[in-house]
Amino acid sequence: MKNIILMGPPGAGKGTNAKRIASHYGIPHISTGDMFREAIKNKTPLGELANKYISQGLLVPDDVTIGLVKERISLDDCKNGFLLDGFPRSLPQAEALTSIGEEISRPIKYVINIVVPESILVDRISGRRVCKTCGAPYHIRNMKPKVEGICDLCGGELVQRKDDNEETLKARLHEYHKMTEPLISYYKNLGVVYDVDGTKDLDELSKDIAKILGE
């Protein structure tokens, strides 16, 4: 059972690596950030609530996020494994996930912690672009599309996320250090943390992660 959490600060490359891992193992990629952005795009009540926090670089309230994830990982397609990207991000979220895992017999087996120095994060985030249509990630220097401004995969338009500006990023990094980084100790106590070097190129990093996760 590959029940995996991908952790790391904003800009660590969680989304990009998550897509690779999920498709390699044929397990669902569950990104709370993507779920919120989808809700915002569709102007649902959840989206309206989430947007208030996301636009300020703050965490969406725990009860909302926990409910969303509980529902998602209980679905049938998660029975052989799932990859969480961007969840948990706070101690109450992690504790809730542990008890949900017990309740539905889907415990977390691996926490892949992507380590990247702070100086690199700012450059990565300010140069990040995403496909408006399919969400695929790019970077204006490090991960260019074949045609500028156009998604390689679907031809969609590449845009900058609203929360990828310097000011919001500061708040997001602050939230990360205050709320999320302590989770590494929580999971170290459970003996499931594996650090990987997020400055390596993507193919190398995928190999490192595959060594940890096995077949």
Q: How far is the CB of 78 from ligand ADP (least distance, A)?
A: 17
60 in contact with ligand ADP (CB under 6 A) = yes
Distances (CA, A) of 63 to 10, 66, 88, 110: 22, 5, 12, 24
Q: Which residue is nearest to ligand ADP (CB)?
A: 33
Considering only CA atoms, give the Rg of the chain.
16
Which is closer to ligand ADP, CB of 27 or CB of 59? 59
Residue 52 burial (CB < 10 Å; 0-12/13-18/19+)?
exposed
Q: Of 32, 82, 116, 124, which lies in the binding site for ligand ADP, with binding defined by CB under 6 A?
A: 32
118-137: contacts with Zn ion (CB under 5 A): 131, 133-134, 136
Residue 128 CA to residue 188 CA, distance in Å, equals 31
Binding-site partner at residue 154 among Zn ion, ligand ADP, none, CB < 5 to 8 Å by type: Zn ion
Q: In this structure, are residues 114 and 196 in contact, taking their beta carbons and an 8 Å threshold?
A: yes
Instruction: State the catalytic residues.
Output: 14, 89, 128, 161, 172
Instruction: Give contact residues for Zn ion (rule: CB under 5 A).
Output: 131, 133-134, 136, 151, 153-154, 156
